[in-house]
Amino acid sequence: MPEDRIYLGLGSNLGQRENFLKSALEKMKASDKIGVLRVSPVYETEPVGFTDQDSFLNIVVEISSKLPPEELMADLEEIESRVGKKAEFKNGPREIDIDILLYGKQVHESEKLKIPHPGLSRREFALRPLLDLEPYIADPTTNMPYRAYLKRIKGEKQVSIKREIDLGFRNEDEIS
C-alpha cells in the first residue's frame, strides 16, 4: 500500500501548551508507522464551541503513513494519551488534541472517523496552517480550494501567528 500525504491538526490550551505540541511531535517522529514531513507555523487561536477557556496553540503537521485511516487514528489516540490528554468534554480544554484533517485525496466515513475532517472548511485555526504548508490544496469532496473557504470565514475568530515558538522540528525548506 503506497504512503499518502496526510495532514493532522494539533492543538493545546492547557498548561505548557508548547511542550504538549512538542511532545506529540517527538512521539510521532519516534514512531515507525508515521513519517513527519513538515510542520506549519504555530497559531494562537480563540476556542471554538465551549468558549470559556484559554486560547489554543494550533499547528498542522504533514505526515506520511501506510496505516489505513482507522489504524492511524488509533495510533494518534495512543500518542494523545502518552502526551497526557485528559479532555473531559467535547470542545473543552485539553492538553493535546490530534485530528486527521486530510488523508491524501481519500474520503472516509465511519461511525468513529470522518475524512476530510467535518469542521475543516469552517475553522480558520486549521485552514491557515494547512494553507501555509499547501497553498493550493482542495477539498476532496468538492474540489473547491481550501483558500476559498478561508476567504469566506477569515476573521470570525481571533487567529494570530506565533512563529517564534520552537517545536524542535525544521522543515526541509528551512534548512540551509
Question: 79-88, pLDDT tens digit by residue?
Answer: 999 998 776 6
Q: What is the pLDDT of residue 171?
A: 78
Domain encompassing residue 75? 4-171
Does residue 175 carry a pLDDT above 50? no
Q: Which residue has the higher pLDDT, 64 or 54?
A: 64
Q: Which H/E stretch holds residue 8? A: strand 4-12
Does residue 1 carry a pLDDT above 50? no
Task: Evaluate whether residue 151 is within a structural domain.
Answer: yes
- Among 100, 88, 150, CA closest to 125: 150
Residue 31 DSSP SS3: coil
pTM of structure: 0.89
Task: Evaluate whether residue 87 is within a structural domain.
Answer: yes
DSSP assignment, residue 115? Answer: E
- Among 89, 116, 82, CA closest to 9: 116
Task: Evaluate whether residue 50 is within a structural domain.
Answer: yes
Does residue 37 carry a pLDDT above 80? yes
| Number of folded domains that form the chain | 1
Give the number of residues written for the chain: 176
55/48 Cα distance (integer angstroms) = 9
Q: By the 8 A CB rule, do 46 and 153 touch? A: no
Does residue 104 carry a pLDDT above 50? yes
Question: Once rounded to an integer, what is the mean pLDDT over residues 97-117?
Answer: 94
Residue 163's CB: how many other CB atoms inside 10 A? 8
Q: Which H/E stretch holds residue 98? A: strand 97-103
Task: Evaluate whether residue 176 is within a structural domain.
Answer: no
* Ramachandran bin of 168, using left for φ above 0, alpha for ψ from -120 to 50, beta for the remaining angles: left
Residue 57 DSSP SS3: strand
Strand partners, 12: 57
Task: Evaluate whether residue 131 is within a structural domain.
Answer: yes
Does residue 115 carry a pLDDT above 60? yes
Residue 106: band (very low, low, confident or very high) from pLDDT cuts 50, 70, 90: very high
CATH code for the domain of 93? 3.30.70.560
Task: Evaluate whether residue 8 is within a structural domain.
Answer: yes
Q: Which residue has the higher pLDDT, 21 or 166?
A: 21
